[in-house]
Amino acid sequence: MNNSSNNVPDWSDVTRALVIVAHPDDADFICAGTCIQMAKQGIEVTYMVLTNGDKGNHNPEITRNQLIAMRQIEQRKAAALCGVKQVLFMGEEDGFLRPDREIRKRVTREIRRIRPELIICTNPDRYFVGDGYINHPDHRNAGLVAIEAIFPAADNPMFYPDMADEGYLPHKIKYLYVHGHDAPSLKVDITAELPTKIEAILCHKSQFSDPEGAKQRWLEMWGEQQEDGSLRYFEAFKVMKFG
């Protein structure tokens, strides 16, 4: 994979991509524009949502099970807008995600089943964002879950040899995109995809009391003024490549 000078990556050696995140809506915030571009190039994109999102609303009139069901519907609708064909809900409890043995095995099984060349995950070292936001522990731990499943587990036959009997053989990815890294090495220009990205995020109606106000903050967060005075929008990643 070579990155072109205009921030449009060449994914000619990628046929499948997997996005591993903590909550319903996380993928749409961090990489929907990138996933739209991949899907348009014929890449099969899968979202893996590790938690059930059952803490993602402050309305006491909504029950836990209602919220879980609501957020799955929202995420599937958002994914469909982005050309994402499959959404996996792993069902861990929101707010208490931990990189334990059980979830590592479950994620490793899915990596071996899907066999993606490219995985997108969150930065496990990101505790603070700007001057006013403490990063959710599930975001950090989702990154750990992903990384520890990728290595050393997914491509090592000594891990979970029973999976071979199920037809899930070891698999090594080619690329890891880490969102939220302090030193990103790739900025994907998503200006053309921005309207769809915002539409996908707004599918998560359970998450917003003031969608228009939130939309303005998002534009400020993703936008960058160019030398010619134009405004372009980007998703940034630390890219790791594996031989």
What pLDDT, on a 0 to 100 scale, did the predictor assign at position 170? 98
Quick check: helix, strand or coil at residue 191? Answer: helix
Q: What are the tens digits of pLDDT across the range 150-206?
A: 999 999 999 999 999 999 999 999 999 999 999 999 999 999 999 999 999 999 999
DSSP state of 140: H
- pLDDT of 5 above 50: no
What pLDDT, on a 0 to 100 scale, did the predictor assign at position 98? 97
Confidence of residue 3 (pLDDT cuts 50, 70, 90): very low
CA atoms within 13 A on the CB side of 178: 22
User: 11 lies in a domain?
Assistant: no
User: 54 lies in a domain?
Assistant: yes
User: 4 lies in a domain?
Assistant: no
CA nearest neighbour of 71 among 33, 35, 120, 21: 21
User: 8 lies in a domain?
Assistant: no
User: 212 lies in a domain?
Assistant: yes
Residue-number span of the structural domain to which 79 is assigned:
16-241
Contacts of the segment 150-159: beta carbons below 8 A, 24+ positions apart:
150/111, 150/119, 150/176, 153/104, 153/105, 153/108, 154/108, 154/111, 154/112, 159/108
User: 1 lies in a domain?
Assistant: no
The number of distinct structural domains making up the chain is 1
User: 213 lies in a domain?
Assistant: yes
User: 42 lies in a domain?
Assistant: yes
Q: Say which CATH number the domain at 126 has.
A: 3.40.50.10320
pTM of the model: 0.94
Question: What is d(CA 133, CA 57) in angstroms, rounded to the nearest whole number?
Answer: 18
Asked if 36 contacts 192 with a C-beta cutoff of 8 angstroms, the reply is: no
